[in-house]
Each structure stands twice: as structure tokens, then as C-alpha cells.
């Protein structure tokens, strides 16, 4: 059979199995088994056992369940309410006022979470009722939260960065360092848009609260101290070289438990719920990673990644054209798969092409995170859209429409990264030196 026929058969099998309701991880394993059984001489059962064990026993992956658990613990604390009290006084003078709390709050929580959905849910739990009560326009409240929630993936620690680092064999600590400036830049792109929209629709923004003195603002900011200390402990230990990503994740779990205990929200029930929630999410991710590792091996034996890389190379695309083609590819893929599945499913095929084109794997990792962020707000399988729907009871179409301007801003961010790759590489190169 030709490569095209084999690819069509495997893709068709994948959508058929997915459509029947089988879990993504098992689907990937099933498609890999079909590929090896039909188009390779190696016994599929033996290959599956070795590969799945190898992917599940990776030491690098130990950071993942710890960061997930840290986010689950913080999700159940009073952190979000305290953050609103600390941030709100400083936002009153900006056009758009408290709408900026969504962006700044998501950026801060992203630095201790690692999950877009957790960031969106935690900040939404705090900001949406307050913004609604004060009369802020719903479409901007929802859109800014759905868009800014994606910062949970870009600002380290990030679950997607860990997954990419493992699948593409790139340093996770370097990825974390490389994500800092792009995360800040994207937040700074979101806020001016909110300000511009608010100036054009000034009548829809409620009047500012009573003015507060600098001393009063600083006093309210004491509520931000716990989360700032936790961010400093987790990220500072990585950037200073004191701890690996895994050790920093352990430090984050201990810190979040202490923070939860000091706030009075740590009980046996919340401890158990956070542990079970983190375990469930990690087991889902681990199953997807194991299936994807087997699929990558299967495709390697069949030779599809090499042939695809050769075909793309034969098209003679420039680096920019390749990046734009991959952006479009991942946006389409994001309509059907979640972010983790997108990364693990495609890395085995895409990475040889990317390396052949001379694209830095570290830069490409941050690019992947941003296009996966876009997938978080594209229907029908946008995780942030589901989170927002659960909180607002609005339709997916309405929420997607509200988030669409922020989707376009992320497309602009991809172009900005291409034109100025130093946004990603400056910190990692500087800290190496």
C-alpha cells in the first residue's frame, strides 16, 4: 500500500474508534496496534508492552502529577477571593476597570497552576459573580476570562510544557524559563485590547469605586502575599538552579498544603478531594501519553514520519510558511482533540520536519503551547469553553464568540514570536551564560 493509503486507513480507524466513545489513550494504542500488525514485521504485543512500560516509568514525568495536585489543592483554597481583594483596587484607574482582574488574576494563578482549565475555573469562580453583580458586560467578562485562562498553559509551571518536553526530548526547565516572557507579553496584549474595547464602549463599563489612597491599596495587596511567596518558591528554585522541575513541584505541593492550612481550608475532605482529582487527571494524561508513545513507535516502524518529513521538505516551504501551515493544522486539530492529545499525537511526525527546517526545538515548544492555547477556545472541543459553559450556563457558540477576539490576539502572538524569536530564547540563553 502507498503511504497515503496507510495514513488514510490509520486516520480513518482513529476517528472510527474515537466516534464509538473509546477513551483517547486506548484509541491511540488500538490504532498503533493495527498499524504494527498490518504493516510491520515486529510483533505488536511485545512492542506495546515495552513501549507503554517505558513511557510510564519516565522519571521526568514525575513533575506532572505533582503540579496537577498542587493546582487541585489551590483550587479548593480561598486563594481566588483573596486575589480579587488584592488586585481590584489597582485596576480601577484602567479603562475596563475590573475586567483586567481576569487577565492579571489568570496570569498570577497560572504561575502556580499549570492547567488552563484550573486557571479558568479558579479565577472565574472569583471574578464572574463579582463582575456580574457590578454590571460589567457579560460578553467581555466571559471572553476575557476564557482567553486569559489559556495563560495557564503558557506561564510556567505548565502541564503541556512537561508533556512536550518528554515527547520531544527538550529540557523542561529550559521550557519553563522560555515561557515566562511570552506569557507576560500575551497578558500585556490582552489588557490593551480590553482597554481599547472599553474606551469604544464607555457606556457599558460601570463607574469606578470610591478612590483609595496608596496606603489603603497597599494594605489590600497583603492578600497577594501568600500566592507571591508560593510563585517565588516554585519558579525561583527552578530558575536559580537549586531544584529540578520535579523537586520544585514537590516544593509546590508542600507550599500549597501549608497555604491551605493557614487559610483554614485544609480539611481531610479537601485533602482527599484534591488527591483524587489530581490522580484522575494524571491517569487520563498518562494513558494518553502511553498510547501516543506506542503510536509513535508504530509509525516509526511503518516509516510514515520520515516520508511525511521528506514530502514537506520537497514542497520547499520557507520557515514562515511552515509555521503558518502548522498553525492552521493545529487549529483544525484543536477542533477535535484536547491539547495534550494534540501534542503527543503529532510530535513523532512533526519534530523531524521541524528539525530539518532548522527551527529551534525550544522555540517550537513555546509555539506549540500557544497554538494549543488557541485550541482551548475553539469549538466543539475547547476545554475553556466547557469550563465557562459550566459556570455561566451559556451556549458553547456564545462563549466561543465572546472568546474569538482573544483567539485572534493569540494568532498575532504567533506572528510576533516568529518575527522576534528572542522573546522565547533570551531568558534561557541568558541563564545558561
Distance of CA 40 to the CA centre of its chain: 35
Q: Which cell is 388 given?
A: 465557562
Cβ contact 90:216 at 8 Å: no
- Tell me which residue of 237, 272, 235 sits closest to 156, measured CA to CA: 235
CA-nearest of 80, 81, 137, 89 to 109 is 80
Q: Kindly give, in sequence order, each residue whose CB lies less than 8 Å from that of residue 45, ignoring residues fewer than 6 positions away.
A: none
Calpha distance 157→111 (Å, rounded): 6
One digit per residue, the tens of pLDDT, for the chain of length 433 reads: 676 787 778 878 877 887 787 877 788 888 888 888 888 777 778 788 888 787 777 776 777 788 778 878 877 777 767 777 788 888 887 888 888 988 988 888 888 777 777 778 778 877 888 888 888 899 999 999 989 988 888 888 788 898 899 888 888 889 999 999 999 999 999 999 999 999 998 888 888 777 778 788 888 888 788 888 888 888 788 778 788 878 888 888 998 899 888 888 888 998 999 899 888 878 877 787 788 778 778 877 777 766 766 677 677 788 889 898 888 888 877 776 667 777 877 787 788 888 888 899 999 999 999 998 888 788 766 777 877 887 788 888 899 899 999 999 999 999 999 999 999 999 888 876 5
- The whole-angstrom separation of Cα 268 and Cα 261 is 11
Overall pTM > 0.85: no
The Cα 44–Cα 213 span in angstroms is 70
Let me know: does 383 contact 376? Beta carbons within 8 Å.
yes
Amino acid at each position: 500500500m502507498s503511504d497515503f493509503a496507510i495514513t488514510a486507513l490509520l486516520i480513518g480507524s482513529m476517528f472510527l474508534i474515537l466516534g464509538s466513545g473509546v477513551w483517547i489513550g486506548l484509541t491511540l494504542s488500538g490504532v498503533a496496534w493495527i498499524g504494527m500488525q498490518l504493516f510491520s514485521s515486529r510483533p505488536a504485543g511485545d512492542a506495546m508492552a515495552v513501549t507503554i512500560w517505558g513511557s510510564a516509568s519516565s522519571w521526568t514525568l514525575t513533575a506532572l502529577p505533582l503540579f496537577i495536585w498542587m493546582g487541585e489543592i489551590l483550587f479548593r483554597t480561598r486563594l481566588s477571593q483573596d486575589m480579587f481583594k488584592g488586585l481590584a483596587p489597582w485596576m480601577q484607574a484602567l479603562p475596563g476597570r475590573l475586567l483586567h482582574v481576569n487577565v492579571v488574576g489568570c496570569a498570577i494563578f497560572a504561575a502556580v497552576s499549570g492547567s488552563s482549565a484550573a486557571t479558568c475555573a479558579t479565577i472565574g469562580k472569583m471574578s464572574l459573580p463579582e463582575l456580574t453583580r457590578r454590571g460589567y458586560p457579560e460578553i467581555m467578562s466571559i471572553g476575557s476570562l476564557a482567553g486569559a485562562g489559556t495563560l495557564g498553559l503558557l506561564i510556567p509551571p505548565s502541564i503541556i510544557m512537561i508533556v512536550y518536553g518528554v515527547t520531544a526530548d527538550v529540557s523542561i526547565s529550559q521550557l519553563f524559563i522560555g515561557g515566562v516572557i511570552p506569557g507576560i507579553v500575551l497578558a500585556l496584549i490582552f489588557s490593551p485590547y480590553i482597554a481599547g474595547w472599553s474606551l469604544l464602549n464607555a457606556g457599558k463599563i460601570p463607574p469606578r469605586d470610591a478612590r483609595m489612597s496608596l496606603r489603603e491599596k497597599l494594605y489590600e495587596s497583603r492578600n497577594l502575599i501568600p500566592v507571591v511567596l508560593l510563585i517565588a518558591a516554585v519558579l525561583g528554585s527552578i530558575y536559580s538552579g537549586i531544584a529540578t522541575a520535579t523537586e520544585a513541584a514537590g516544593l509546590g505541593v508542600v507550599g500549597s498544603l501549608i497555604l491551605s492550612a493557614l487559610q483554614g481550608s485544609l480539611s481531610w475532605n479537601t485533602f482527599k478531594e484534591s488527591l483524587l482529582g489530581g490522580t484522575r487527571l494524571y491517569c487520563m494524561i498518562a494513558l494518553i501519553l502511553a498510547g501516543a508513545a506506542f503510536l509513535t513507535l508504530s509509525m516509526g516502524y511503518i516509516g510514515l514520519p520520515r516520508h511525511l518529513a521528506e514530502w514537506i521538505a520537497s514542497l520547499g516551504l520557507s520557515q514562515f510558511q511552515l509555521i503558518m501551515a502548522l498553525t492552521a493544522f493545529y487549529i483544525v486539530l484543536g477542533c477535535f482533540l484536547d491539547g495534550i492529545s494534540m501534542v503527543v499525537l503529532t510530535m513523532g511526525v512533526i519534530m523531524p520536519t521541524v528539525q530539518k527546517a532548522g527551527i529551534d526545538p525550544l522555540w517550537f515548544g513555546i509555539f506549540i503551547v500557544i497554538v494549543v492555547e488557541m485550541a482551548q477556545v475553539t469549538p466543539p472541543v475547547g476545554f475553556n469553553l466547557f469550563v465557562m459553559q459550566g459556570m455561566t450556563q451559556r451556549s458553547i457558540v456564545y462563549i466561543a464568540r465572546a472568546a474569538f477576539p482573544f483567539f485572534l490576539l493569540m494568532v498575532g502572538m504567533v506572528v510576533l514570536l516568529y518575527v522576534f524569536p528572542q522573546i522565547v530564547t533570551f531568558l534561557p540563553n541568558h541563564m545558561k551564560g
